[in-house]
């Protein structure tokens, strides 16, 4: 009798390139393919270790002389909105939430283009066309949803105002990418989407909302540190966020583990156990 053993994920490292968050830094990512029958289990397991999904790839920053990028998540049960966040909820109380399958539409793409042109005109996604947008949304081997937010209009019907591509993990919601109407920038729609995901996770009985990476010293990422009950993945474990100033973006090169050591420390799911646990 022959037995086929599960093939362990293979990890690779991207070529060095300029960091999009901290000027003068060089970025490098550790990544692996996300595919096959164990895709959801692998996504669940590696998300708990600071990895993020992009289409059919899981990645984590692995820079040679910097470890500033920290995966961040909110403990749903302990979260209490601040006074300003309660104002954001009130300001956007008219929005209607509409969960859909991960299928791209022209309305979504048009909103996405307006968002990029206004807020990230020089970023790495600035030249994305409709087909690339569709790939970002639809190429997912795990449980993903598009959460649309619409503004009711008595004459024109509901207008698409914001969208978030969200993965459903076994312990939370992972916000893969969100965008919104740039003309409503004053309504803090980015903050509202996070607050609404906390409510969705609470209703589903999920303990966490994963926000992606928080980067101390990067103005682009500063808003994440404003959320209560925040944890960051640092030095191999989740740590409560206290004073953001305690997390220094200047890391000595000798404090960064070599790639081989980082890979050796990754805990992989045991696909032989019942339910993959």
How confident is the model at residue 123, as a pLDDT?
A: 61
How confident is the model at residue 7, as a pLDDT?
A: 64
Name 17's bridge partners.
Answer: 27
- Mean pLDDT per 10-residue section of the chain, whose length is 277 residues: 60 92 90 93 97 96 88 97 97 96 96 87 73 96 97 84 98 97 92 98 98 88 90 92 71 74 90 42
How confident is the model at residue 273, as a pLDDT?
A: 44
How confident is the model at residue 124, as a pLDDT?
A: 64
The domain 72-244 is placed in CATH, from the list 3.40.630.30, 3.40.50.300, 3.40.1190.20, 3.10.180.10, at 3.40.630.30
How confident is the model at residue 190, as a pLDDT?
A: 95
pTM of the complete model: 0.91
How confident is the model at residue 253, as a pLDDT?
A: 60
How confident is the model at residue 275, as a pLDDT?
A: 40
How confident is the model at residue 5, as a pLDDT?
A: 43
How confident is the model at residue 93, as a pLDDT?
A: 96
Domain boundaries, the chain: 11-71+248-276, 72-244
How confident is the model at residue 277, as a pLDDT?
A: 31
How confident is the model at residue 153, as a pLDDT?
A: 83
Q: How many CA atoms lie within 13 A of 254 on its CB side?
A: 0
């Amino acid at each position: 009798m022959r037995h086929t053993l599960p093939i362990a994920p293979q990890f690779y490292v991207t070529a060095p390139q300029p960091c999009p968050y901290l000027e003068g830094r060089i970025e490098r990512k550790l990544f692996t393919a996300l595919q096959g029958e164990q895709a959801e289990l692998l996504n669940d397991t590696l998300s708990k270790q600071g990895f993020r999904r992009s289409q059919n790839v899981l990645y984590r920053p692995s820079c040679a002389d910097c470890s500033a990028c920290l995966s961040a998540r909110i403990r749903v049960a302990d979260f209490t909105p601040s006074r300003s966040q309660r104002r954001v909820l009130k300001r956007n109380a008219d929005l209607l939430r509409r969960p859909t399958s991960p299928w791209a539409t022209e309305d979504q793409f048009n909103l996405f283009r307006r968002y990029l042109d206004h807020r990230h005109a020089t970023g790495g996604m600035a030249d994305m066309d409709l087909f690339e947008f569709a790939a970002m949304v639809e190429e997912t081997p795990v449980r993903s949803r598009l959460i649309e937010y619409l503004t009711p209009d008595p004459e024109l019907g509901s207008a698409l105002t914001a969208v978030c591509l969200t993965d459903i993990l076994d312990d939370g919601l992972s916000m893969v990418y969100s965008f919104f109407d740039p003309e409503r920038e004053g309504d803090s729609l980015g903050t509202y989407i996070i607050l609404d995901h906390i409510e969705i996770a609470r209703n589903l009985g999920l303990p966490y909302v994963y926000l992606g990476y928080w980067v101390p010293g990067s103005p682009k990422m500063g808003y994440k540190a404003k959320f209560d009950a925040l944890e960051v993945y640092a030095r191999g474990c989740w740590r409560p966020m206290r004073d953001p100033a305690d997390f220094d973006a200047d890391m000595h090169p000798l404090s960064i583990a070599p790639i081989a050591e980082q890979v050796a420390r990754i805990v992989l799911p045991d696909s032989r156990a019942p339910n993959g646990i």
